[in-house]
Amino acid sequence: MSAVRVTPWQDGDPVPPELLAGIQARRPNGELIGIDRVLLRSFPLATGWNELLRRVRADFSLELEYLELIMLRVAVLNGADFEWGVHHPAYLQAGGTEEKCAAIKAHRATGPFDEKEQLLIELVDQSTKYVRVDEAVIDRMKALFGETKTVEAVATVAAYNMVSRFLVALAI
């Protein structure tokens, strides 16, 4: 991709200290990444975004490996290379494998995935490509994950579609 399409926030630019601290708290070593710097062009957006994504990543009961799998699949489907770069190591650290990453990147939903992972990929594919998700997929999700984790999985797909679309539109 080309250069970022808006001027990212720079160290020393005005920012509410509590907002900057909140974003830094979500990042390894407090280092801001490209999306953070673009979000900081709108303090209300950066505030809400940071809180939403913090809760998705830290407060959901759906296992982190599944959350990261969802994020990677969304990144691939939407061509969000930056998102892949951020979540690939996190997925591996959460228990994912390079074999699964290769299958995700190749758009395969079968192979090294177990039943739950295949279902999550089906959910991501339908929601991301078509918005509508077959009732049978949701019913299977509820049977395998329960209603709370089903809601969290759907919300994760939606949230990371938001992330990827933001990244791609602004060439982050």
Instruction: Name which of 1-5, 34-38, 103-107, 131-135 the model is least confident about.
Output: 1-5
Per-residue pLDDT tens digits for 5-40 = 999 999 999 999 999 999 999 999 999 999 999 999
Of 132, 130, 160, 168, which is closest to residue 68 (Cα–Cα)? 160
pLDDT at 57: 92
**pLDDT over 60 at 106, yes or no:** yes
**pLDDT over 80 at 70, yes or no:** yes
- In this structure, which CATH number among 3.40.50.150, 3.40.50.300, 1.20.120.1200, 1.20.1290.10 belongs to the domain 64-169? 1.20.1290.10
pLDDT at 2: 59
pLDDT at 1: 43
Average pLDDT over residues 48-56: 97
Of 100, 108, 165, 102, which is closest to residue 131 (Cα–Cα)? 165
Q: Are 152 and 60 in contact (CB under 8 A)?
A: yes
- What pTM did the predictor assign? 0.95
DSSP secondary structure letter of residue 28: G
**pLDDT over 60 at 53, yes or no:** yes
Question: Vertex 89, ends 85 and 93: CA angle to 5°?
Answer: 160
Tokens (6 digits) for 76: 């691939």
> Reduced to 3 states, what is the DSSP secondary structure of residue 57?
helix
Phi, psi of 141 (to 5 degrees): -60, -50
**pLDDT over 90 at 110, yes or no:** no
Write out the residue limits of the CATH 1.20.1290.10 domain(s) in the chain.
64-169
